[in-house]
C-alpha cells in the first residue's frame, strides 16, 4: 500500500495515536534502530568504519539503537550535547575517513536555524568527503518547508521514519536530502491521515501487470501507433519504439518523417515503420505523440490532425510527450477517454504560462493546473520524485530512480514504455496504477543499473526496462 506524505503536525498526531494504543516509544525506537542498521549494512562492507552522530532527542535515540546491530563493522558513536566542546573529537574521527557518517543530531522538531556552533559542526561533516546518511530528516532542514534557513546536513541518503515529510520533497531540499527512502515497518499503527500526496512503495505493484492468459493472441494486447522522429532527432523515435516493445503490446507502428524512415526502419525489426500519412495515423488502438518531433521541422499539416485526434470521440488512449505538448488544444478533453501528458518542468511551465522555477516551487499545484487546463487529463510531471495524478484526487510521488536518468533519451524510453502498457485493454482498467507502474519501473531499472555499474547508458535502460521486480526493493 502507498503511504501518505505528512506534515510535522500530522506525524506528531500519528505518533500520539500510536502511544494511546499502548505501543511504547521505546519499542518503536528499537525497531527504528534495527531498520536503520539494516540499511547501514547494505551501504557498507565488512570492516568499514561507521561514525554515528547522536543528538539528545529521539533521532539520537534511533541512532544509538542501531549501534548494537551493526555486526562486522567498526562503529563509533559520538553523543553530541555541546557542539563547541565536541567539535575537536568529531574532526579527529572524520580525519579517519569513515565509510559512512550517520546523522542523528536533529529531527522534525527543529523549527529554528542552527546556531553558530552547531553550524560549524554540521559543515565539518559536510566537508568531510564521507558519505552521509541522515535519520528521518537532515539536521537543520525544516521538515515542513524543505527550505533551508541556514546550514543543514547534506545527505547522500535520508532514511525518513514512518512516512515522508512534505518538506523533504521540496525542490529546495534536494541538495540536502539526497536519495529519499522511507522506513515503514517501525511499529506505528496504520496511518489514518488522507492527504493529497502519497508515496509509492514497490510492494504496490506485487502481481502487476497480471499474468497473460495461456491462449492469448497479439490482438488482445493492442496496437500502438507512435508518431515520432524528425531529421536529427530520429533516435528519440527509435528509443520510444524500443521502450514500447518492452511493455509487449500486440503490435507497434512507428509513423515518422519520410527522411527519417530508412534510418528508423533499419534499427527496428518487430516494429512496423511507415513514412507518416495523416490519413493513417489513427489506425492503432492507442497513440503516442511527440518524441523527437522538432517544432521547427514539423508543419501544420501534421499538427492540425494530431490536435483533432486529441479531441476525437471514440479514439482510444493517447499519450502526448515532448513537442506534442505544445500543440495540445486547451479546454475539455474527450470524456471517458484516456489522455496523458508527460512534461518535464520546462515543458510544464510552457503549458501553464509559467516558468520552471515556479513549477518546481510547487509541483503539486503545477500538476493540478496542467490537468485542469487540458481537460482533466492524467499528468506525469517528470523530475526527481515524478508526480502522477490529475486535477482532483490523490497524486502519487514516485520513489525510484536516480540522477543517472539525466541523459538524453531517458524520457523517450519512458513515454514509449508507458504508452506500450496503456494500449493493452486490461491495463487500461486501472490507468492510474498502470501509469504509476511505468514510472516506477523506469526509475527502478535505473536503480538496478546504477548498482551494477556507473557508466550505464539509455541503451542499457531500454534493454532492461520492465524487468525490475518489486520484491527486490524493500521499503
Question: pTM for this one?
Answer: 0.95
Domain match, 186 and 314 both: no
Rounded Cα distance between 61 and 64, Å, is 5
Domain match, 250 and 172 both: no
Confidence of residue 314 (pLDDT cuts 50, 70, 90): low
Confidence of residue 306 (pLDDT cuts 50, 70, 90): confident
> H or E element: which one contains 75?
strand 74-79
CATH number at residue 46: 3.40.50.10260
Domain match, 153 and 222 both: no
Are the C-beta atoms of 244 and 227 separated by less than 8 Å? no
Domain match, 122 and 222 both: no
Asked whether residue 390 is assigned to any structural domain, the reply reads yes
The alpha carbons of the chain give a radius of gyration, in whole angstroms, of 24
Asked whether residue 200 is assigned to any structural domain, the reply reads no
Are the C-beta atoms of 399 and 386 separated by less than 8 Å? no
Cis peptide before 226 (omega within 30 of 0): no
Rounded Cα distance between 448 and 391, Å, is 33
Tens digits of residue pLDDT in 90-113: 999 999 999 999 999 999 988 889
Asked whether residue 212 is assigned to any structural domain, the reply reads no
Asked whether residue 306 is assigned to any structural domain, the reply reads yes
Asked whether residue 442 is assigned to any structural domain, the reply reads yes
pLDDT at 245 over 90: yes
Q: What angle do CA 352, 340, 408 make, to 5 degrees?
A: 80
Instruction: Quote the cell numbers at residue 203.
Output: 510492494
Confidence of residue 280 (pLDDT cuts 50, 70, 90): confident
pLDDT at 333 over 80: no
Poorest-pLDDT segment among 8-17, 126-135, 309-318, 346-355 = 309-318
Domain match, 145 and 270 both: no
Instruction: Quote the cell numbers at residue 211.
Output: 499474468
Tens digits of residue pLDDT in 372-388: 999 899 999 999 999 99
Domain match, 84 and 182 both: yes
Instruction: Find the domain containing 124 and state its range.
Output: 3-192
Q: According to the model, what pLDDT value does residue 299 have?
A: 67
Are the C-beta atoms of 388 and 435 separated by less than 8 Å? yes
Asked whether residue 311 is assigned to any structural domain, the reply reads yes
Domain match, 265 and 166 both: no
Average pLDDT, the chain: 94
Domain match, 311 and 266 both: yes
Asked whether residue 213 is assigned to any structural domain, the reply reads no
Beta bridge partners of 133: 102, 157
Split into its structural domains, the chain has a count of 2
Are the C-beta atoms of 225 and 284 separated by less than 8 Å? yes
Domain match, 166 and 226 both: no
Domain match, 246 and 148 both: no
Rounded Cα distance between 162 and 108, Å, is 12
**Sign of the CA dihedral running 11, 17, 19, 23:** negative
Asked whether residue 175 is assigned to any structural domain, the reply reads yes
β-strands 339-341, 318-320 pairing = parallel
Rounded Cα distance between 472 and 475, Å, is 10
CATH number at residue 280: 3.40.1190.20
Arithmetic mean of pLDDT, 438-449: 98
pLDDT at 313 over 80: no
Domain match, 188 and 321 both: no
Confidence of residue 303 (pLDDT cuts 50, 70, 90): confident
Domain match, 143 and 232 both: no
Confidence of residue 222 (pLDDT cuts 50, 70, 90): very high
Confidence of residue 136 (pLDDT cuts 50, 70, 90): very high
Arithmetic mean of pLDDT, 290-313: 78
Confidence of residue 305 (pLDDT cuts 50, 70, 90): confident
Amino acid at each position: 500500500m502507498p503511504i501518505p506524505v505528512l506534515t510535522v503536525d500530522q506525524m506528531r498526531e500519528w505518533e500520539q495515536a500510536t502511544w494511546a494504543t499502548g505501543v511504547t516509544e521505546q519499542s518503536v525506537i528499537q525497531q527504528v534502530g534495527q531498520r536503520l542498521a539494516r540499511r547501514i549494512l547494505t551501504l557498507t562492507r565488512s570492516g568499514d568504519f561507521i561514525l554515528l552522530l547522536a543528538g539528545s532527542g529521539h533521532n539520537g535515540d534511533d541512532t544509538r539503537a542501531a549501534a548494537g546491530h551493526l555486526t562486522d563493522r567498526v562503529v563509533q558513536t559520538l553523543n553530541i550535547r555541546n557542539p563547541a566542546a565536541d567539535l575537536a573529537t568529531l574532526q579527529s574521527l572524520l580525519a579517519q575517513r569513515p565509510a559512512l557518517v550517520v546523522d542523528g543530531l536533529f529531527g522534525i522538531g527543529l523549527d529554528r536555524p542552527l546556531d553558530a556552533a552547531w553550524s560549524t559542526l554540521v559543515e565539518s561533516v559536510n566537508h568531510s568527503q564521507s558519505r552521509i546518511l541522515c535519520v528521518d530528516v537532515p539536521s537543520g532542514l525544516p521538515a515542513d518547508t524543505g527550505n533551508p534557513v541556514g546550514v543543514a546536513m547534506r545527505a547522500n541518503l535520508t532514511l525518513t521514519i514512518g512516512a515522508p515529510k512534505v518538506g523533504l520533497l521540496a525542490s529546495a531540499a534536494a541538495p540536502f536530502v539526497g536519495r529519499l527512502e522511507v522506513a515503514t515497518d517501525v511499529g506505528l499503527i496504520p496511518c489514518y491521515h488522507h492527504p493529497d500526496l502519497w508515496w509509492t512503495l514497490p510492494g504496490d505493484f506485487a502481481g502487476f501487470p497480471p499474468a497473460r492468459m495461456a491462449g492469448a493472441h497479439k490482438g488482445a494486447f493492442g496496437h500502438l501507433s507512435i508518431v515520432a522522429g524528425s531529421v536529427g532527432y530520429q533516435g528519440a523515435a527509435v528509443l520510444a519504439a524500443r521502450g514500447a516493445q518492452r511493455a509487449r503490446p500486440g503490435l507497434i507502428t512507428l509513423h515518422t518523417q519520410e527522411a527519417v524512415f530508412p534510418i528508423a526502419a533499419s534499427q527496428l525489426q518487430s516494429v512496423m515503420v511507415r513514412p507518416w500519412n495523416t490519413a493513417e495515423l489513427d489506425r492503432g488502438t492507442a497513440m503516442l505523440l511527440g518524441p523527437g518531433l522538432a517544432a521547427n521541422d514539423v508543419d501544420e499539416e501534421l499538427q492540425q490532425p494530431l490536435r483533432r485526434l486529441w479531441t476525437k470521440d471514440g479514439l482510444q488512449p493517447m499519450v502526448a510527450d515532448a513537442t506534442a505538448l505544445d500543440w495540445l488544444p486547451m479546454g475539455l478533453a474527450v470524456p471517458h477517454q484516456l489522455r496523458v501528458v508527460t512534461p518535464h518542468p520546462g515543458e510544464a511551465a510552457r503549458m501553464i504560462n509559467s516558468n520552471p522555477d515556479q513549477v518546481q516551487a510547487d509541483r503539486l499545484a503545477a500538476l493540478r493546473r496542467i490537468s485542469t487546463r487540458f481537460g482533466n487529463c492524467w499528468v506525469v510531471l517528470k523530475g526527481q520524485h515524478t508526480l502522477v495524478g490529475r486535477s482532483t484526487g490523490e497524486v502519487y510521488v514516485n520513489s525510484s530512480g536516480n540522477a543517472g536518468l539525466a541523459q538524453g533519451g531517458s524520457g523517450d524510453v519512458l513515454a514509449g514504455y508507458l504508452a506500450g502498457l496503456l494500449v493493452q485493454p486490461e491495463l487500461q482498467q486501472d490507468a492510474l496504477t498502470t501509469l504509476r507502474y511505468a514510472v516506477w519501473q523506469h526509475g527502478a531499472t535505473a536503480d538496478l543499473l546504477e548498482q551494477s555499474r556507473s557508466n550505464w547508458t539509455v541503451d542499457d535502460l531500454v534493454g532492461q526496462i520492465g524487468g525490475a521486480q518489486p520484491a527486490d526493493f524493500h521499503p
